[in-house]
Chains A and B, each alone.
Chain A
Amino acid sequence: MNRIGRREVARRIFAYEFNRSTHKIESKEEKSPIYVLTPTGMRCNRVFVVGVLLDKEETRPDTNFWRIRVSDPTGVFIGYVGRFQPDALETLLEVEPPELIAVVAKVRHFEGETRSFASLRPESIAVVDSDVRDYWVYETAKLTLNRIKAMEKKSSEDAILAWQIYNPDLEEYRSIVKQALTTILEPVVKVREGREAEEIEEGEEPEELEELEEEIFEFEEEEWDLSDILGE
């Protein structure tokens, strides 16, 4: 298993933390991957996310370039799927939101004039059931707590770097993890026949998170122009 040019591990991260990851790590070496450093000191290039596809919309009619919003219990991931992600596009076109999906995605990092943010560029999308979502929330919670502990010990270079850049309030991230775990422990209310009603749980999101979505939505407009130019 001694491989060079290793595949990047798909990291687990909640939307709340992902949307606060603004720092890009770029090495000077050629062809080396670009990472986004998260507030709990993890560098990620690829992520695995399980959440609810809230909506998909073409950025402009007939471009076949889609903007998707995927929600976990803590917030919303923004992603873009185009013709260069054929596997993800194939599934996406067949899915009608709201629907639970598992997404393997590369992390993209945009630098705007006033601020920067991270988004997803899905490699593959699959429709899954709520057992997968529950395990993902558990797993992501566990790994996030591990990172928080590493931050407290300042045990890695990336942890130290994250302190310098974000100076995070670790209690804030702890409470987000708790909140996420609590949502999967709550009983599921079935609305649609034969399916669990994810959209009900989403309705319970705190208002603060709704605001967050709005912010990203506005901000995204300027980025959309960029990708359009690149895409042509």
Chain B
Amino acid sequence: MDKIAELTEQIVKRFKDSGFDVDPKEVSKRLNLLIHEFKVPESEAVRTVTNYLMKELEISREQLVAESPLVKVSDITSPGRWVSLKAKVVQLWDATSPNVSQVGLIGDETGIIKFVIWTKAGKGEVEEGKSYLFRNVVTDSFAGRMQVNINRSSQIVEIDEDIQLPPRELEVVGALVAIQQNSGLIRRCKLCNRTMTKEVCPVHGKTEGYDDLRIKGVIDDGENFYEVILNEDNIRELTGIGLKEARKMAEERLDRNAVLTELKNSLLGRYFRVVGTRGERYLIVREVEFLKQDIRELAGELL
């Protein structure tokens, strides 16, 4: 019986929050019937009663404030959940499809996540740097990463709080345990700077390209891993190989991959101290150096 009382209260409160009064007796009678007599699962019973009341009172779904749990960005780990979150708009990107009104990154103190506002949602636009309460948004996974979608039932309310973002600069000490694909001497499209494979840009097809030197790698400290991007300057500082040297190396050995092999030989398995800015997935490296530590002192502390 306790369960029924609890669910009843939940439903009554939900309607009350939206400005409607419903009769608790009526709610509990219907819940009782569905749950105890017809053995309907609780969640379905709640949904059925709520729908019934909405029809009865002639209110639409939008008018009813759903109580999605308020979460932090780092709590979002599985797709298909309704959540609410307070977050600041970090960055707006160009929408790539007419179905998308706005797309970009939002974040709170626990992390940063991609968001999509569907055109169909019919919401006002958000602004970079402002904080909002995103109510009733749906979590989703796209290309292996989590994001939140803002749809017709969602609400975006600007709030007066200044939501803190995770420290943008991060210092990491760990070993370089992997160098990923598209590292070394690469070609980029002159039009959009994307990396090309075999002189073909994924967007512009066969176009002119230019050389660049970069490493996409993984720094691992035994407890966490960080995907990092090292640019030409970082690489030159570490290895003495810049774009010019890399080109020369590729020409001499008639193999562009020779550069990657050389970089792997001199960098993989080594420890680094890295300072960089956190992006959605990668740490964009500002400073990187081979780790220099006084092992005697460190080891002494442990003994």
Complex CA gap A141/B298 in Å reads: 11
Interchain nearest-CB distance for B292 vs A (Å): 8
Indicate if the CB atoms of A185 and B268 lie closer than 8 Å: no
A residues neighboring B (CB under 8 Å):
1-5, 7, 9-12, 48, 50, 87, 91, 101-104, 123-128, 131-132, 134-143, 145, 177-178, 181-182, 184-185
Interchain nearest-CB distance for A117 vs B (Å): 22
Complex CA gap A181/B301 in Å reads: 10
Complex CA gap A7/B225 in Å reads: 8
Which of B221, B264, B295 gathers most chain A CB within 10 Å?
A: B295
Cβ–Cβ < 8 Å partners of B221 in chain A: 139
Cβ–Cβ < 8 Å partners of B141 in chain A: 4
Q: List 26 A-B contacts (CB under 8 A).
A: A1-B111, A2-B73, A2-B74, A2-B77, A4-B77, A4-B144, A4-B146, A9-B224, A10-B175, A11-B222, A48-B220, A48-B222, A48-B269, A123-B178, A125-B269, A126-B264, A128-B269, A131-B295, A132-B270, A135-B293, A137-B299, A139-B222, A177-B302, A182-B303, A185-B296, A185-B300
Interchain nearest-CB distance for B145 vs A (Å): 5
Cβ–Cβ < 8 Å partners of A123 in chain B: 178
Residue in chain A with minimal CB distance to B112: A1
Indicate if the CB atoms of A132 and B269 lie closer than 8 Å: yes
Indicate if the CB atoms of A50 and B269 lie closer than 8 Å: yes
Pair count A-B, CB < 8 A = 110
Complex CA gap A13/B265 in Å reads: 24
Q: Is the interface of B mostly helix, strand, loop or mixed?
A: mixed
Interchain nearest-CB distance for B183 vs A (Å): 13
Indicate if the CB atoms of B270 and A143 lie closer than 8 Å: no
Complex CA gap A185/B299 in Å reads: 8
**Given known A2-B74, A4-B141, contact A10–B220 (CB-CB < 8 A):** yes
Residue in chain A with minimal CB distance to B114: A2
Q: Please provide the chain B residues from 247 to 283 with a CB less than 8 Å away from any CB of chain A in the complex.
A: 264-265, 268-271, 278, 280-281
The answer to the question of B291 belonging to the interface, with a C-beta cut-off of 8 Å to chain A, is yes
Indicate if the CB atoms of B302 and A181 lie closer than 8 Å: yes
Indicate if the CB atoms of A124 and B218 lie closer than 8 Å: no
Indicate if the CB atoms of A101 and B220 lie closer than 8 Å: no
Interchain nearest-CB distance for A52 vs B (Å): 14
Indicate if the CB atoms of A141 and B302 lie closer than 8 Å: yes
The answer to the question of B65 belonging to the interface, with a C-beta cut-off of 8 Å to chain A, is no
Interface size on B, residues (CB 8 A): 40
Q: Please provide the chain B residues from 135 to 168 with a CB less than 8 Å away from any CB of chain A in the complex.
A: 141, 144-146
Complex CA gap A176/B271 in Å reads: 23
Interchain nearest-CB distance for B261 vs A (Å): 8
Complex CA gap A104/B176 in Å reads: 10
Complex CA gap A2/B83 in Å reads: 16
Residue in chain B with minimal CB distance to A3: B145
Complex CA gap A145/B299 in Å reads: 12
Cβ–Cβ < 8 Å partners of B295 in chain A: 131, 134-135, 138, 184-185
The answer to the question of B87 belonging to the interface, with a C-beta cut-off of 8 Å to chain A, is no
Interchain nearest-CB distance for B260 vs A (Å): 11
Q: B269 contacts which of A1, A12, A124, A177 (Cβ < 8 Å)?
A: A124
Residue in chain B with minimal CB distance to A128: B269
Indicate if the CB atoms of A104 and B178 lie closer than 8 Å: yes
Complex CA gap A189/B101 in Å reads: 67
Supply 16 further A-B pairs (C-beta < 8 A) apart from A131-B295, A135-B271: A2-B73, A3-B145, A7-B218, A11-B222, A48-B220, A87-B264, A102-B175, A102-B269, A124-B177, A132-B269, A134-B295, A136-B271, A138-B293, A139-B222, A142-B302, A185-B299
Residue in chain B with minimal CB distance to A124: B268
Q: B178 contacts which of A3, A124, A135 (Cβ < 8 Å)?
A: A124
The answer to the question of B76 belonging to the interface, with a C-beta cut-off of 8 Å to chain A, is yes
The answer to the question of B230 belonging to the interface, with a C-beta cut-off of 8 Å to chain A, is no
Cβ–Cβ < 8 Å partners of B218 in chain A: 7
Q: Please provide the chain B residues from 102 to 157 with a CB less than 8 Å away from any CB of chain A in the complex.
A: 111-113, 141, 144-146
